[in-house]
Structure 1
Amino acid sequence: MNICVFCSAADLDARYTTPAREFAELIGKGGHALVWGGSDTGLMKVMADGVETAGGRLVGVSVDFLAHKVRPGVDDMVITKDLAERKAELLARADAIVVMVGGTGTLDEATEILELKKHGLHTKPVVLLNTAGFYDGLKEQFQRMEDEGFLPLPLTELVFFAEDGAGALAYLEEQAGIQG
């Protein structure tokens, strides 16, 4: 499975890097590919290091203005002209999407992917990996959106909230019909 992971390029502390490293190892050991923003910094680097070390493939999709930060020696690297093209390319190369901790860029990616899914423009499973309760507030907001009629489909069909990488990968493999 090609698993697109949206996450931060910032250097973060162990409460985020340790679970990310564990999730990356599960992806690699499961024979899956990491499709990610291609950066060799921050949490993106932690994910790429872990997947590569565990034997998984790396598929990077960077953007022209960040090309100087790409990870060398990956299995496949694409450089897009802008962020919109990058998001489209990431989605096109993915069988599933996992949104990890991140800032405004990660939130932008997450909301666009969910909006496309809401409108039926893709049916790929989407997981919000709620490491250390990072997305508790967003989960509450989504629940309110559903409760007050802002979502045209049940929240459970739109996104799955996982508390750890093992839960995220188990959900994705179940959705793909892969026996764990």
Structure 2
Amino acid sequence: MNITVFCSAFALDERYTKPVREFARLLGEHGHTLVWGGSNAGLMGVVADEVKAAGGRLVGVNVGLLSHKTYQGADEMVMTADLAERKAVLLARADAIVVLVGGLGTLDEVTEVVELKKHGLHDKPVVLLDTEGFYEGLRIQLARMEAEGFLPRPLNELVGFASDGATALALAEA
């Protein structure tokens, strides 16, 4: 499978990197291809290093403005003109999407892929690895949207939440 991963480009505390390493190692061991933002920075670099070390394939999708942080050693690197094109390519290349901890860019990415799924423009699994309860606030907001009629499909059809890397990968593979 091609598993697109959205995550932070910042170096983070071990409480966040340890579950990411576990997930990435399993992704590689299961023979999947990592499709990610193509960066060597922060968690993006951690994910790529772990997948590669575990025997997985790497497909980076980077953007010109971040080309100075391009991961060296990817099996394939796609350069895009802007962030919108990057998101479109990341989704197009995905069989499943797994969202790790991240900032505003990651939040933008996950909300877009869930919105597109809500409208039936794709039906790929979308899984959030909820490390340390990082996405609990988002889960609460999405549940409220569902309860108050803002979602045309049940929330569990749009996105799954996992508390560990093994569960995240299993949901992506399902």
TM-score by length of 1: 0.96
Equivalent residue pairs, number: 174
Structure 1 CA distance for aligned equivalents of residues 151 and 46 of structure 2: 34
Corresponding residue SS for 1:47 = helix
Corresponding residue SS for 2:161 = strand
Runs of 4 or more above 2 Å deviation: none
Structure 1 CA distance for aligned equivalents of residues 109 and 154 of structure 2: 21
Return the offset for 1:171.
1.4
Structure 1 CA distance for aligned equivalents of residues 8 and 73 of structure 2: 21
Structure 2 CA distance for aligned equivalents of residues 135 and 74 of structure 1: 29
Structure 1 CA distance for aligned equivalents of residues 160 and 73 of structure 2: 33
Amino acid at match of 2:76: D
Amino acid at match of 2:109: E
2:146/2:155 contact within 8 Å kept: yes
Unaligned runs of 5+ in 2: none
Matched, 1:108 2:119: no
Residue 81 of structure 2 corresponds to 81
Corresponding residue SS for 2:39 = coil
Residue 71 of structure 2 corresponds to 71
Corresponding residue SS for 1:161 = strand
Residue 138 of structure 2 corresponds to 138
Structure 1 CA distance for aligned equivalents of residues 19 and 129 of structure 2: 10
Structure 1 CA distance for aligned equivalents of residues 36 and 103 of structure 2: 15
Deviations 1:19-71 (A, max 9, x none): 10111000000000100000001000110010000000000000010011000
**Identity across the alignment (%):** 70
For CA contacts below 8 A with separation 6 or more, give which structure has more relative contact order: 2
Residue 126 of structure 1 corresponds to 126
Amino acid at match of 1:41: A
2:117/2:123 contact within 8 Å kept: yes
Amino acid at match of 2:39: S
Pairwise CA RMSD:
0.5
Residue 15 of structure 2 corresponds to 15
Where do residues 1-180 of structure 1 align in structure 2 (5 Å cutoff)?
A: 1-173=1-173, 175=174
TM-score by length of 2: 0.99
Structure 2 CA distance for aligned equivalents of residues 140 and 76 of structure 1: 37
